[in-house]
């Protein structure tokens, strides 16, 4: 690794650690920024690297959130009674009990999301191209509706999460650092993963699935594994976000298909899908622009959001990094040798002429 790259990584990590201490008022916003980066990175495992464009990855976010909530509540109170009381249920717990519940909740959310990914993967991985996108969109929408009708987990009324035992300042910093660590570890894990055989295999699936299968790649196993990785991190961050917000509800918080669910696609495309840094760049840019301009649009922000997606998809699909790769191929390790290009073109022309 070049020293400049190491300096960049160290700089980002230091900035991430320092941010809530320097600008404490924006702790929540910056935590959401890290979450957005995680969203874009996990979407890109499937959408960018493997060529399976899912519109329903938000399902795992919500699933993790609800699994964690149930695990956390179940250690003090019967879940049905707790949720039926809509926050009026008084529970006493010590600090140690709260953190233990949170810890097991997050772990259970990650594992539960993997289980969901494996089961659902068996159902939807035969679908290809647009059918996969529509099928996964259907899964996310169905989950929101079904959880909304499920009284045991509070139905449409939602669940108030157990209250953090501590001051609001400490609370926001605590959750900020969890999200930060999750995002950084997702990035590190994927950075390693894309250099392995696994990365090559999923790229082969993207380029031509039938050929990859013919070359002996067990495509179904790789697809399920890739979805499980995305689900694992999404489930955990969902668990943390549920606790960070303090109140969870199916349509707007847990399964927000038309906000977070579509943001993750838009962010990856904006940055450049199929690259490691693209989603990070896209998510940062998207979130910063969104937060800076949102309040000035007076209710038209959602219209603007849809317009951004349309413009992004139609006119600028290669994304920032894709555009940069076209512009300066040498910087990305693509060797452009004019002599060789000419020779190849000449050879191609000769072959054409021979036919």
Partner 1 sequence: MLDNLSLLIQAPLLNIQLLLDGLLIGAIFALAAYGLALVWGVMNVKNLAQGDFVIMGGYVGYWFSKNDIHPFFALPVAIVLMFAFGWLCYVTIIRRVIGRDIFTSLLATFGLALVLQQALNLIFGSDVQTAEAGFQTRFFFDGQVTVADTKFIALILAGALAACVVLFMKRSRMGKAIRATAQDARAARVLGVNTDRVYAFTFALNSAICGAAGVLVAMIWVIQPYYGIVHSIRSFIIVVFAGLGNLAGVIFGALFLGSAEQFSAFVFGAEFQVASVVCLLVLVLIYRQIQSARHRQVVE
Contact residues for partner 1 (CB under 8 A)? 53, 55, 123-124, 126-127, 129-131, 133-135, 138-139, 141-142, 145-146, 148-149, 156, 258, 262, 265, 269, 299-300, 302-303, 305-310, 312-315, 317
Using the minimum distance from each CB to partner 1, give the nearer residue, 74 or 258. 258
CA gap 12, 320 in Å, rounded: 20
Closest distance to partner 1 from the beta carbon of 137 (Å): 8
- Per-position b or e across 163-178, b if 16+ CB within 10 A of its CB: ebeeeeeebbbbbbbb
CA gap 214, 223 in Å, rounded: 16
Q: What is the dihedral of CA 10, 36, 113, 97, to 10 degrees?
A: 70
Using the minimum distance from each CB to partner 1, give the nearer residue, 11 or 306. 306
Closest distance to partner 1 from the beta carbon of 126 (Å): 4
| The pair of three-digit structure tokens given for residue 12, joined into one six-digit string | 């980002």
Closest distance to partner 1 from the beta carbon of 206 (Å): 12
Closest distance to partner 1 from the beta carbon of 241 (Å): 22
Q: What are phi and psi of 160, to 5 degrees?
A: -90, 125
Please name every residue paired with 160 in a beta bridge, in sequence order, or none if there are none: 247
Using the minimum distance from each CB to partner 1, give the nearer residue, 170 or 289. 289
Using the minimum distance from each CB to partner 1, give the nearer residue, 78 or 138. 138
Closest distance to partner 1 from the beta carbon of 145 (Å): 3
SS3 label, residue 216: coil
Using the minimum distance from each CB to partner 1, give the nearer residue, 8 or 289. 289
Residue with tokens 């790649």: 217
């Amino acid at each position: 690794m070049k020293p400049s790259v190491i300096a960049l990584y160290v700089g980002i990590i230091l900035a991430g650690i320092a941010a809530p201490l320097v600008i404490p008022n924006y702790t929540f916003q910056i935590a959401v920024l890290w979450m957005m980066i995680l969203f874009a990175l996990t979407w890109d495992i499937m959408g960018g690297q493997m060529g399976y464009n899912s519109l329903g990855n938000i399902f795992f976010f919500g699933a993790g959130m609800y699994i964690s909530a149930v695990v956390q509540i179940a250690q003090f109170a019967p879940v049905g009674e707790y949720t039926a009381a809509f926050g009026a249920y008084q529970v006493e717990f010590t600090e140690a009990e709260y953190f233990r519940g949170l810890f097991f909740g997050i772990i259970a959310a990650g594992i539960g999301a993997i289980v969901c990914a494996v089961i659902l993967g068996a159902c939807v991985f035969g679908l290809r191209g647009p059918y996969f996108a529509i099928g996964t969109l259907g899964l996310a929408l169905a989950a929101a509706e079904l959880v909304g009708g499920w009284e045991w987990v509070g139905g449409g009324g939602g669940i108030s999460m157990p209250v953090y035992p501590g001051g609001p300042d400490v609370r926001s910093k605590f959750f900020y650092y969890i999200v930060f660590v999750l995002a950084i570890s997702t990035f590190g894990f994927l950075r390693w993963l894309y250099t392995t055989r696994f990365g090559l295999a999923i790229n082969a699936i993207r380029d031509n699935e039938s050929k990859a299968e013919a070359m002996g790649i067990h495509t179904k196993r790789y697809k399920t594994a890739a979805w499980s990785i995305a689900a694992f991190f999404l489930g955990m961050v969902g668990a943390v976000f549920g606790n960070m917000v303090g109140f969870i509800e199916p349509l707007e918080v847990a399964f927000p298909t038309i906000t977070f669910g579509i943001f993750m696609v838009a962010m990856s495309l904006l940055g450049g899908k199929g690259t490691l840094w693209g989603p990070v760049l896209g998510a940062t840019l998207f979130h910063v622009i969104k937060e800076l301009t949102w309040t000035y649009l007076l209710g038209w922000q959602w219209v603007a959001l849809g317009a951004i997606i349309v413009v992004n998809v139609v006119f600028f699909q290669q994304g920032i990094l894709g555009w940069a790769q076209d512009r300066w191929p040498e910087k990305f390790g693509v060797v452009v040798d004019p002599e060789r290009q000419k020779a190849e073109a000449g050879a191609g022309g000769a072959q054409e002429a021979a036919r």
